Amino acid sequence: MKTIETRSDLELLVDQFYGKVLEDAVLSSFFKYLDFQRHLPKMVDFWEFILLDASGYTTDVTKVHMHMRLQKDQFDRWIQLFNETVDGLFVGEKAQKAKERAFLIRWTIESKMNQN
């Protein structure tokens, strides 16, 4: 296993993660409508900004997901699949940071949804 070092690493992570999401009974209905040709590069941009200190990503990741109205079990499954994907591909500090950031995103979105 290797560490996360390049945009190609992040493309692999995002591609494999969303491949799992689209086949998952708990999550697929929330994501199947997305145009993944447009969405996946944005997600790679986000993770490149977070993990590789790339510039240019300015979207509020929590705001763009608020419309999905995920429930606790769906958030739990999202985190489970994300962590499984990271752990199946990568090791090291950036892999751990990715999992921590995903949990923070989940917590933030879930908290904001519960306030509305």
Q: How much is the pLDDT for 52?
A: 96
pLDDT in tens, 33-90: 778 788 889 889 999 999 999 877 666 555 555 455 677 888 899 999 999 999 999 9
* Residue 96, domain member (yes or no): yes
Q: How many domains does the chain have?
A: 1
Give the Å distances, CA to CA, from 21 to 31, 38, 89, 115. Answer: 7, 16, 16, 26
Domain region containing 100: 7-115
State residue 108's pLDDT score: 79
Residue 23: CATH number of its domain? 1.10.490.10
How much is the pTM? 0.86
> In this predicted structure, what is the pLDDT of residue 95?
98
Q: What is the structure's pLDDT at 60?
A: 56
Domain annotation covers residue 97: yes
Q: Which residues touch 33 (CB under 8 Å, ≥6 apart)?
A: none
Task: Examine residue 2 and state whether it is found in any structural domain, yes or no.
Answer: no
